[in-house]
Chain A
Amino acid sequence: MIRPGALLWIGASVIVAIALFLIVYRVKGLEKELTLLNQEAAAHEEAIHVLKAEWSFLNRPDRLAELASRHLGLQPVAAAQLTAGQSLDQPSTPTVPVSSGERLQGMLQRITDGGER
């Protein structure tokens, strides 16, 4: 005759065994997924690395110069074309001396007025 205690233990061990198997399979599945993801990450990393190298290669100054001369017609900046920001927007004959803060405010005012119109 089987005692109830033994029955309980057998039942428990069966449950634990099943649970263990399920967990093992799940872990295996997850590990496979992890491996795949890691491989994918490594592949992407390598691809990024190669693309960076290619980007640098394609940005060789002599190549850019050739492309620019073919398509853009740009010229190097001459010193005469450069000027400091503060030398701009100086009214040639300032009628009323105003502080720069006030002037800026006035300018903003004009801009917003213009925008509303």
Chain B
Amino acid sequence: MTDLATRTWKRLLHEPPPLSVDPEQRLSEARARRPIEMARTRLLIAGAVFALCFVVLAGRLLEIGILKEGNARSDGGARLTSDAAPGRVDIVDRNGVLLATNLPTVSLYADQETVLSAEGAADRLLTVLPRYSREDLVERITGKARHALIERNLTPDQAFQINQLGLPGFSFERTERRVYLQGPLFSHVLGYTDVDNHGLSGIEAGLDATLRTTEPESGRPFTVSLDMRVQHALTEELNHSIEEFSAIGGAGVVIDANTGEVLALVSLPSFDPNGRRKSDDDVEFNRVTKGIYELGSTFKAFTVAMALDYGVVDMNDGYDASHPIKIARYTIRDDHPQNRWLNVPEIFMHSSNIGAAKMALDVGGERQREFLERLGLLNAYQLELPEVGAPAVPKPWREINTMTIAFGHGLSITPLHLANGIATLVNGGVLRRPTFVKQPEGATISGDQVISPATSEKMRRLLRLVVTEGTGQKAAAPGYLVGGKTGTAEKAAVGGYQRKSLISTFVGAFPMQNPRYVVLAMIDEPKGNRSSFGFATAGWTAAPVVGRVISRIAPLLGIEPVDEDADPIHRELDVKEVSQGARLASF
């Protein structure tokens, strides 16, 4: 309101219209009253403003005090979430054992503007960080960035000592560091992260997005399908065998035959993932999921299953294995020659190349290819790891390929393919995708029925026969009904095969009357020694690993031992086409 308006208003309300006043006097009177009126008006306006403010304040008070809906924030409440944001969830094994976590550490920074003397500071820092040279430290302090990173992930001890030095211009910053508590035990399968906690290999890389986006505050870690105890047993036994037979490496995997869960995955030699930078080092090569190998006679399990499933042969059919097969410039002969007619169980038990090749020929190349494809052996797996190897499939698939693939040459697959394929053969014929994520307890994992349950049942008997009577006797773990197949392959080299460089593999399942787990062990270039009578074949090197691993892990996994000589077991697992007890096999 302007002065004029107020005055008019007042006049209209209170003052009677002046009737006969001297205009001169009226003017002076008005002039005298003006300041008073102005003051009054201002007071009124100020009062109104204050009243408004108080109404607002009162309203806010009511809101906070009575309605409690105002976002009343206190200094204290905000504190809890402001720091401590790990940004990457913990990884635990299937039993809840912590495998990977983020630990708080501090990093040392230098502020160039406030550092008094780079050389002096470097000299004193050297007493705490002796792994640097003096020049190196000076360069770091006087580097381009004003806020220069000197050293990441100091130990609490180092941080304390640097603090004690009292150097001006140096500051600490809290960071998180990924720590692998089991050291090298899970190196290949878990992988590791870079300094910014981004996955570089293994599950850390394959499930990077999941691990980063899961709310760490929820406190719920990521549970993988691995079992630390099984992983340890497998690692130890493989290491033992590698040492014993002076091998250059090894690999092993344990998978659940009914869910496809991977319980253990070992590739040796291994490395410590803590504080590791990405490199092309050989040790990082994951032999189980990425390495592809011609896995030799273990493939005969697929050949026999194929022939049985197509109805090409029955258990008491057989082939003449007395003469090597000559095709093109190759000769297919047996490593354990029996020089006679062999029936199907005998072909499998004695690992006859001739018999397997003839069997595959009877099935036919087209159907063989189709069968292996159905078992998932010709395509790369979709895994939770980025290290995935694609099988090397021959093109074109000629007759000679049909024959060599029958006994495991000419087609390279990963050991994981082999283990999962065997799981499919023994679990009733259901193919499932291998996974590294723990599946809900007792859940039925769907899969494709790729072979008939009847064939699967026969394969169980045949695989058991290899361990009771055939080439895999050293894989026996009394009470746990191990069944499996050996495979010794010569490594492919330019222009042929190296007779002395072997890949010895044993793949087994247990307990055979209702297989729960498949165990695979592969030894790379074992050398025979006195204890193996000079043999480096799978029956002497890889099979004992599987036997020892199974006798260690079966009690841990809750498998009840049985009396292997009990009648029901014999009824369920014996192969009547072979006279039991007669030692026919050689190694």
Contact = CB atoms under 8 A, between A and B. Distances in A.
Interface of A: 31-39, 41-42, 45-46, 49-50, 52-53, 55-57, 59-62, 65, 76-80, 82, 84
Contact of B80 (A42, A55, A76, A82): A42
Contact of A46 (B75, B77, B104, B479): B104
B480 interface: yes
Interface of B: 74-77, 79-80, 83-84, 97-99, 101, 103-104, 179, 181-183, 185, 228-229, 232, 236, 477-480, 551-552, 554-555, 560-561
B378 to A, nearest CB: 37
B210 to A, nearest CB: 21
Given A53-B98, A79-B480, A42 B185 contact: no
Q: Is the interface of B mostly helix, strand, loop or mixed?
A: mixed
Given A78-B551, A84-B560, A57 B79 contact: no
B341 to A, nearest CB: 38
The interface centre, meaning the residue of A56, A60, A84 with most chain B CB atoms within 10 A of its CB, is A56
Contact of B554 (A34, A46, A61, A79): A79
Contact of B76 (A31, A45, A62, A82): A31
A39 B76 CA distance: 8
Contacts of A55: 98
B478 A80 contact: yes
Can you list the 10 inter-chain pairs with the closest CB atoms, starting with the nearest?
A79-B479, A34-B76, A79-B561, A35-B76, A61-B232, A56-B98, A56-B181, A57-B181, A31-B74, A77-B555
A62 B77 contact: no
Given A45-B84, A65-B232, 9 more contacts: A37-B76, A39-B79, A53-B98, A53-B101, A61-B182, A76-B555, A78-B478, A78-B551, A82-B560
A80 B561 CA distance: 8
Contacts of B232: 61-62, 65
A38 B560 contact: no
Contacts of B480: 79
B103 A60 contact: no
Contacts of A33: 76
Contacts of B79: 35, 38-39, 42
A61 B74 CA distance: 47
B183 A79 contact: no
Given A61-B229, A79-B480, A41 B80 contact: yes
Contacts of B99: 56
A53 B179 contact: yes
Q: Which of A36, A62, A65, A79 has the most CB of B within 10 A?
A: A79
A53 B101 CA distance: 7
A81 to B, nearest CB: 9
A38 B84 CA distance: 12
B78 to A, nearest CB: 9
A62 B185 CA distance: 9
A60 B185 CA distance: 9
A87 to B, nearest CB: 10
Nearest to A59: B97
B555 A82 contact: yes
A69 to B, nearest CB: 12
A24 B419 CA distance: 71
Contacts of A45: 84
Given A35-B79, A60-B185, A61-B228, A79 B477 contact: yes
Contacts of B179: 53
B60 to A, nearest CB: 14
B74 A34 contact: yes
Given A42-B83, A84-B560, A56 B104 contact: no
A53 B103 contact: yes
A104 B84 CA distance: 57
Contacts of A41: 80
A49 B79 CA distance: 18
A53 B561 CA distance: 35
B406 to A, nearest CB: 36
A96 B236 CA distance: 52
Nearest to A52: B98
A82 B561 contact: yes
A82 B477 CA distance: 14
Contact of B84 (A31, A32, A46, A57): A46
A65 B232 CA distance: 10
Given A60-B182, A79-B478, A38 B98 contact: no
Contacts of A78: 478-479, 551
A77 B362 CA distance: 47
A50 B103 contact: yes
26 contacts: A31-B76, A32-B76, A34-B77, A35-B76, A37-B76, A38-B80, A41-B80, A42-B84, A52-B101, A56-B99, A56-B101, A56-B181, A56-B182, A60-B182, A61-B182, A61-B229, A62-B232, A62-B236, A65-B232, A76-B551, A76-B552, A76-B555, A79-B479, A79-B555, A80-B478, A80-B561
Contacts of B183: 60
A100 to B, nearest CB: 21
Nearest to B74: A31
